[in-house]
Amino acid sequence: MKNEIKNRLDAAIKIAKKAGQYALELRKSNNFVVTEKQKNDFVTTADKETEKLIQSELMSCFENDGFFGEEGKEIFGKGRWVVDPIDGTTNYFRNLSNWAVSIAYENDNQDILLGVVYAPESKDLYYAARGLGSFRNDEKIQVSKIKDIKYSINVCVPPHRYKEYYDSYMKKYNLIGRECSDIRSYGSCALEMCYIAQGLIDGYYELFLGYYDYAAAKVILEEAGGMFYSWPSSINNKINIIATNFELFSWYKNNIINEGENE
């Protein structure tokens, strides 16, 4: 089993780098078109073409595997690859640097076994496999040891696609803001969770995410000693998440999560 996972991890790393370079070249040449799937939910032809590249490369290596990407139809098979070809699409087409290729693999029980997140602009490569630890550019990483919320730096992302939930969301935002040291928002769920894994920031709260947004980063975070929790949202196929270092998880869970009530 370990050899099987290592083979998939090695392939995912290689493919993420190739896909990232491809997307970067498209961005630099301005060779893409932007459209809006719904309000403030953008997709580019680069997203679609990069996903096609990733799918083709993965299927050529593991032809019996399943595939679930943000932009295409699901393919059923042995386990499943979960892919966000460009996580941080708005950053991508606005020439901001925080966007990444995100590739995860899960078994038939939907246990995520490995994750790769590659940021082409900085060439930062984050990866992890269950039981093997988390790494950034081949150096092992761990979450911070911040214990007190008042010293923490947190990511909070308002629901810019579902603004009818803004007022209720801001109650939690204000609570975190009053208690913590500072708040950030980088525009890429995958990278934000990797920053927690690396110990750069300490907590993260966001509503209405897709599985592809966080699947790869989840195993990277957890293998680095971090904590992750999700609960259903009122939007179909979207969930709410918190992600923290180990020490701050209880504060977040006690103060932020309101399962079963409107966001």
Q: Tell me: the pLDDT tens digits for 50-104?
A: 999 999 999 999 999 999 999 988 999 989 999 999 999 999 999 999 999 999 9
Check whether 41 has a pLDDT greater than 90.
Answer: no
Residue 155's H or E segment, with its range, is strand 153-157
Check whether 263 has a pLDDT greater than 60.
Answer: no
Share above pLDDT 70 across residues of the chain, in percent, rounded to a whole number:
97
Q: What is the DSSP letter of 31?
A: -
DSSP 87-131: E-HHHHHTT-S--EEEEEEE-TT--EEEEEEEETTTTEEEEEETT
28-33 average pLDDT score: 93
Do you know the residue count of the chain? 263
pTM for the whole thing? 0.95
- β-pairing, 41-44 vs 65-69, is unpaired
Check whether 38 has a pLDDT greater than 90.
Answer: no
136-142 average pLDDT score: 97
User: Residue 259: pLDDT band by 50, 70, 90 thresholds?
Assistant: low
Check whether 165 has a pLDDT greater than 50.
Answer: yes
Report how far residue 249's alpha carbon sits from residue 164's, in angstroms, rounded to the nearest whole number: 28
Domains of the chain: 2-140 (3.30.540.10), 149-255 (3.40.190.80)
Mean residue pLDDT of the chain comes to: 94
